Structures are given as C-alpha cells and as structure tokens.
Structure 1
Amino acid sequence: MMNRSLFDLARKMTLEKASREFRDFRQAHAYTAARRLMDETFADFPDIDHSFVREFQSAGFSARVLELALFAALREQGKELDRTSPAPDFVMVGDDPVAIEATTTNPPQGETAEDVDLAAAVRRSIPNDLEAAEAEFVFQIGKALRRKLEHRDAQGRAYWEKPHVEGVPFVLAVQSFHDPSALFLTTGPLATYLYGIRDVPSRDSDGSLVLNSQVVTEHRRKDKTIPSGLFAQPEAEHLAAVIFTNSATVSKFSRMGTERGYGPQDVAIARCGVMYDPDPNAALPVPFGYVVGDYGPGEHETFSEGFHVLHNPWTRTPVAAGALDGFTEHHLQPDGRLLTTIRHPDYVVSRTMIIQGDKALLTARLRVQQYLTSDAGRR
C-alpha cells in the first residue's frame, strides 16, 4: 500500500485553513508518539470516499479520531471488516456480522474549538454543575443517535436497509464532544436514557450494597423534556446496540504510542483518575494513577479498553452472543438491573498529563504521587 499520512495537508488545504485542533496537534513536539501511531493505524485504514484526511484536518477532527480508534479496536480483536462501501462506517463479516456507524456530539454551530482557549478548556474538563452537565449530555447523545436513525440516503434507505447490510444487526458508536467537560460523563446517564431505568443504591441491615431499579420516563433540561428509554421506542427497533466511549481521543494515541517507544525522550505522560472497583459492595469508583511505560508490555493499554456496548433487548435484529465480546458489555436483565461484563481495566474517567522537559519522567512520577496522596486520590 502506498504510504499515506494524516498530517500531509489535503489538496487545496493550507495550514491556516485547517482547524486549530489539527494545527496544534500537528505541530506540537509533545504529540510525536500520537502522530506516529495514528499514521501507523491509518496506513491500513481503507478510506473509501477519500474524505477522511480532509475531515481529520478540519471540522471533523474529533469524529475521525473516534473512527480511527474504533477501527484499531476491531482490528486488534481480529474482526474481518468489509469497507467496500462508505456507509455504514464498518461492517464486520463472518459468522456474526455487525454493521457499525460512528457519530459524535458536537459544539453548537458557531462555537467550534476555534473559539475556545486551550488552557480554559483544561480547566473546564470537570463540569461545575454535574446534574446540568448530565442533562445536557443526555440531550446531546439523544440528538446524535436520533439523527443517525432518521438518516436516509439518496435512494431513501436507512443504514440497515442498504443491500450489503440488510438483515445484519445495526449498531451506533458514539462519543461526546459538545463541551470541554463532555468526556467526563460515562455510561451511567447514557444507560438510563437508553433503557429508561436507573440503579438506586442502598445498604441492607448488614451494610451490603443493594441496587434497586427505578423507572425513568423522561429527561429534563431547563424547560425542555425528552422521553427516556430510547431502546424501547419504535424509532429504535432496528438499533441493536450502542457502543459508547469517552476515551477514543488524542490522549489514548499518545499513551499507546509512548508505550511503544514512539515518543521523544524529553516527553513523559502521567494518567490519573478513577476506575471501577470490583468489590461487590463498592458504590463508588476508586482512584488510580500511573506513569505511562512504568510497567511491562503485558500491561500495555489496548484500543478496546474504554469501549462499552449497551445491547438493546427490544431490537428486531440483536447482536449475536460473542460478536462484540472484545468490549465491555451491558445487558438489561428481566429484573430491570443491568448486567455488566468487564473484560479490561475499566477506567471510568481520567486525565492524561503530557509533560515535556529534561526531568519529564521525574515530574510525571511526582504528579502521580501527589494525586494519589491528595484528598481526591484518597477517596
């Protein structure tokens, strides 16, 4: 295959016309490892309609990063992909085929990343009002999913009606970028919206954790409401599942590229956040922190980490058992509770700190130690 690069400017594209996200990423020394891993991944990526590079360099930067990470995740799981048609984005073939279309939530028109100061964006990565942020997250995710469900091509066909995917389970993959703090939100509010239920934790007389299901009929944002339980709505009868992630980002490519030795010696990466607690009586996640590379190859991050599959129990064409078992899976049980099968370290939310300088590695280790001994790290 002819060598291709995501960072060679597309025809008629100048650096000044490219998005600021792309310009900053293309030029920054600290992102050397991410750029090399992205180019390595893209070398095997079939760009059917020849639009990927142009969109990656312009307004579609985040959406194309999601698409590239999802492609890499499916490939590392050994999935055979048919990319002879531009839509849906990926069609898994074989005994258990699945058609996957990727989408994102995006900032309101006119409020692109060009208008956001990068330092301010970092400060805003954690929402000030979590309840309001979750409400906005549900509305934005709902809009993105419905937009794809309502989409029809020039022949008036939905994704699942195209000849090459007819009868194949149809899945939507989604990630949220509508706000700098959107990546802080996880599968919890999304599951509530899709299934129309939420788990309410309590403790029994022995102090053991008890989860009870609570029916949710609608979601409210200021003076607007939308119905809950998208999976049970008629418009979603052909939607077999939703794949969600909050980690298919530049940071993932930076961490994984650094693990592979693609980064310069004066750049180090620290990752801190909270992760799933396997204790059955734990109601909250536990803090974690590490310096990328301070462990052996057997503990290297995978592309599949961070992807969650929420299965629709009411769909006409369900995903076959095992077809997407390379990801964390969620199934609604008859008692209304959600059964989650975790196959990777489940980092609920994290912050990746890229540190540059002669003492980058020492500084990164100090940052991790400071986090783990802080109030946030001791919780």
Structure 2
Amino acid sequence: MERLDQVICIEAVTVNPSRHKQDLPEPTNQAELDERLRDYMPIKFGSPLYSKLNKKYWEKEHVSGKSLVIAIHDYHRTGSMVWSRTALSEYLYAKRIRLTKDSNGNKSIIKEDIDFHEYEGKKIPSGFFKLPESENISAVLFTNSATITKFNRMGKIAGLGSQDIKMIRVGKLFDPDPEAFEPIPFSIDIDHPSYQEVWSESIVMFHNSNALYPVDPALFPDITHIRFHDGDYQEITRPYDVMSSVTIVITPTDKFED
C-alpha cells in the first residue's frame, strides 16, 4: 500500500487451530486466563510470526528498502481474539506489565522481563523483535475485530439488513485517564442514536524500535500505536477505543421467559 508517498508492504497471517491436537478450551475464570496469556498464547502467536520471518520477504525486489508490516489475527478458537491481545504484546517485546493492589488498595505497576515461553514441552525465546533479522520487520499489526460480527454491526449502522434483529455490544474501552489502571466497561444497543463505529476501531500497530525502515504513526492517525523504548511502553491510543467486545444478537425467533 502507498500513503503520503511512502510504500508499506503488508503480509497477513493468522493464528489457526492446532492440526495435531485439540486446543485448550476457552478460559472460564481469571486464573485460567492468566495461564493462557503467560505461555500458551505467546507460543500460538510465535509460530506463525516466526514462519513469516523465515520467509525473508525483505529480500524480494518489490519489498527491499521498504517498511514491512506483518498483520496477524487470532482465529485459533471462536472468540479467542477477545482476550489474547496481551499475549501478543508480551511476546513481541519480552516484557510483562502487571497491575497490583496492596492491602490498602494502593495500585502499582510491576514490570518483568520475559526470557522464554514454555508449554507442554515446547519452548521458544520471548521477544520477536529481538530475533535475528527481525529488524527487517517494521511492525506487527493486530485487530481483535476482523470478524463477521464486525461486518454485521457496520451493515446495521448503514441501514442494511432486517430491522427486527437486535444487537447489544458489551466490552471494554480504553480509559484515557493516565491514572486509570483498568478499562471502562460498556454495554450499548447498536440502534441507539449515540452509537458510532468506524472500520479502524480496535486496530493496534506494535512498532519495532529496532526496525531498519520504521513506520511513521502519522500515516495511520486513526489507530492505536504501541512501541517499547528505554524500558517503557510508549502508547498513542484513540481515547475510548474498544479494547475488546462481544456482540449479543437477538432475532425475532428468540424466546425469553421470566
């Protein structure tokens, strides 16, 4: 693609279901979620990203000397993209940030370096942007909303489809308050006059600080940008951007009992 006279090459890849064994079921509580995010999901993300790195697209004539972005989406289980974003960030930068509270309710941030991810005998080094030749990858692009439900919502906003179908969207918004430690929960009827949604919502670009050909965030002003520099995240986030959500679809055939 070309924007403002800069050519950016994009290669897409997906996180898919395992072919030789059954993937873990969806987490049902916070402990299970933390376990998935710690090692299982970084390995799931790492496999397709490492495969793309080994393709060495930057050696191709039409890519050489240009920014190269890998776009990735998690389709390994239904709905898994709603909760897996944190694992991608930790794998890319080999950094884990935890929010904690003491007995008095005081909040603090703990930052941890990650050396590797290990699960059921498989072990990979953490830090995709630290791998040899990863400097040829300018950024990794991720969204958790490249789904059929997204297209259904956008179609409904545009006035397409049946007016008898009701959509309720429930999720979490980014809180622009610098003192905030948690996202803002929300629930809204898609038909409500105040509801708005754009195609760029929930898209995140993770920048490689070591990239040979960095991507200027100004080229994509309507998405979230994250980079890691001098031991800290530097984030440019759209205020109240949707971090994750699910959409409840109600049709005329649905029956409810008191």
User: Which one has the bigger helix percentage?
Assistant: 1
The verdict on how the C-alpha distance between 1:93 and 1:252 changes in structure 2, with shifts beyond 3 A counting, is same
Matched residue, 1:108: 18
Deviation at 1:168, TM superposition (A): 0.8
Larger-gyration structure (1/2): 1
Matched residue, 1:139: 43
> Percent of aligned positions with the same letter in both sequences?
32
Deviates more, 1:268-277 or 1:337-346: 337-346
Matched residue, 1:8: none
Q: How many residues align?
A: 251
Does 2:121 align with 1:239?
no
The verdict on how the C-alpha distance between 1:224 and 1:131 changes in structure 2, with shifts beyond 3 A counting, is farther
The verdict on how the C-alpha distance between 1:317 and 1:290 changes in structure 2, with shifts beyond 3 A counting, is same
User: Which one has the bigger strand percentage?
Assistant: 2
Matched residue, 2:6: 96
1-structure distance, mates of 2:101, 2:247:
34
2-structure distance, mates of 1:221, 1:111:
14
The verdict on how the C-alpha distance between 1:189 and 1:108 changes in structure 2, with shifts beyond 3 A counting, is closer
The answer to whether the Cα contact below 8 Å between 1:243 and 1:310 also exists between their aligned partners in 2 is yes
Matched residue, 2:185: 287
Stretches of structure 2 lacking an aligned partner (at least 5 in a row):
none
Matched residue, 1:121: none
Stretches of structure 1 lacking an aligned partner (at least 5 in a row):
1-90, 113-123, 152-157, 364-379
Matched residue, 1:216: 114
Report Cα offsets for 1:95-116 as digits up to 9, x if no partner: 232111111011122789xxxx
The answer to whether the Cα contact below 8 Å between 1:137 and 1:176 also exists between their aligned partners in 2 is no
SS in structure 1 of the partner of residue 247 of structure 2: strand
Matched residue, 1:350: 245
The answer to whether the Cα contact below 8 Å between 1:126 and 1:181 also exists between their aligned partners in 2 is no
1-structure distance, mates of 2:254, 2:35:
40
The answer to whether the Cα contact below 8 Å between 1:126 and 1:184 also exists between their aligned partners in 2 is no
Report Cα offsets for 1:58-81 as digits up to 9, x if no partner: xxxxxxxxxxxxxxxxxxxxxxxx
The answer to whether the Cα contact below 8 Å between 1:160 and 1:170 also exists between their aligned partners in 2 is yes
The answer to whether the Cα contact below 8 Å between 2:42 and 2:90 also exists between their aligned partners in 1 is no
Deviates more, 1:173-182 or 1:318-327: 318-327
Matches within 5 A, 1:181-330: 181-202=79-100, 209-296=107-194, 299-330=195-226
2-structure distance, mates of 1:111, 1:223:
14
TM-score (norm 1): 0.60
The verdict on how the C-alpha distance between 1:202 and 1:309 changes in structure 2, with shifts beyond 3 A counting, is same
Paired residue type of 1:307: I
Deviation at 1:172, TM superposition (A): 0.4
Instruction: Note the aligned Cα RMSD (angstroms).
Output: 2.7
TM-score (norm 2): 0.86
